[in-house]
Amino acid sequence: MTDVPTGELIKLYRIDRKRNTISVATHAGITVRYLEMIEAGTKTPTLHVLKRIAKVLGVRSAALLGEAPSEDHEGVVNTRLAKLERALFTYRSVPLYDHETQDSLADISDRIEAAEEAWYLGTDPYIVLDLLPGLIVDTEHAVRESGASPESCKVAYRLYRLARVASKHAGRMDLCSMVADRCMRYAEAGEDQVIEAAAAWTLGQALISDDMPRAALDVALFSAGRLEARLSDATPGHLSVYGGLLQLGAVAYARTGDPWRGRDLLRDKALPIAERIGEGQRHHNVFFGPTNVAIHAVAVELESGDTGEALRVANKVNITNIASTERQYAHLIHVARCYELKCNDTAVLVHLKMAEKVRPQAFVYRREPRQMLTALIRRAKPTYASEVREFAERIELLD
């Protein structure tokens, strides 16, 4: 991954476009001082602000995040991604990744389940990047051998559902759309409405990650609408997928500039369903329940810029109600972001350390926490500067 900070990339693009700070800040709806602090690296922009700046500069927000080109594969991180890429681009007539076993469809399904458990519940989830290449090649072979039976397509749907989230958290948004498309196509061949809706949730997550919140909103609302007719006697799996789509829709509403509809969606539709089925629901790898609805409420408030309300809601969230280390980590990063915007650096440090304890490897792969910590180093007060630097050295942010 490139080491050029987001602030420097914004400045480089701004200069290249011959724009001054006053022009960019005004059109992005932020103060000039805030933009100057972002460029200096003492403030980390929220995703919402970053997208507005990207729009003003005429680039995709991914460009401002410095995503690595796909052929740069030095180091442990990108070596894993290189193998994943080659597996995704392996076909029967183009064998770029030489790995094929004689495992049965049931064996492959068990391997996928083990990888899912490692990703969602483990403390070193990125080991899944080592498992995915072989799983992709073996699953595609099994689908061909079965004549694309509904059973094999359901297994493939599960694989690409996992591959989407792993690609995202490894910083490869460009792969997310590809695997989400495969997930959707295999789900439709599986002849199961709930599976199709869960795949639509995966597709919507890929769209919202790729700066297409309006498309993600349309996918979420349309797919949730298809499930609404059977809510009265629905299974927990049906309700969890429905709730997951509502949560996706709420965040998409916030990113399209309509957070009030997002709040209404969570309060009036998602929360009653969550209270009906209770905590600890995980179906089709969609986590749902009252705590997860509250976590999404925090995300909506953060997206809308109301960090005070976001922290008020966050203070009531007990993340131990959720088994997923991924969801715990995401929530802690959102809270750290809120405190950063409130200029409470000690709280930022506390929540970054909590996030690292939950998912240590995320600080290797994820750019956001590393940038927040880099900004914290630059403005840390002497009373805790040494603690910040010790933390940065531990995650190899500093030599």
All structural domains of the chain: 1-66 (1.10.260.40), 72-191 (no CATH), 212-323 (no CATH), 344-399 (no CATH)
Distance in angstroms (rounded) separating the CA atoms of residues 64 and 99: 36
3-class SS letters over 294-344: HHHHHHHHHHHCCHHHHHHHHCCCCHHHCCCHHHHHHHHHHHHHHHHHCCC
Residue with tokens 């700066």: 211
Taking a C-beta distance cutoff of 8 angstroms, is the pair 98, 141 a contact? no
Distance in angstroms (rounded) separating the CA atoms of residues 188 and 46: 35
| pLDDT tens per residue across span 196-221 | 999 999 999 999 988 889 999 999 99
Taking a C-beta distance cutoff of 8 angstroms, is the pair 210, 172 a contact? no
pLDDT band for position 1 (50/70/90)?
very low
DSSP 8-state secondary structure symbol assigned to residue 283: E
| Selection from 298, 295, 208 nearest residue 243 by Cα | 295
Mean pLDDT of 352-371: 87
Taking a C-beta distance cutoff of 8 angstroms, is the pair 178, 197 a contact? no
Residues 6+ apart with CB under 8 A from 32: 21, 22, 25
What pLDDT, on a 0 to 100 scale, did the predictor assign at position 55?
84
pLDDT band for position 73 (50/70/90)?
very low
Residue with tokens 């969801």: 327
Distance in angstroms (rounded) separating the CA atoms of residues 296 and 313: 10
Which of 26-40, 232-246, 282-296 has the least mean pLDDT? 26-40
| pLDDT tens per residue across span 371-386 | 888 888 888 888 888 9
What pLDDT, on a 0 to 100 scale, did the predictor assign at position 75?
44
| pLDDT tens per residue across span 325-355 | 889 999 999 999 999 888 899 999 999 999 9
Mean pLDDT of 50-56: 86
* Residue 101 predicted with pLDDT over 80: no
DSSP 8-state secondary structure symbol assigned to residue 397: S
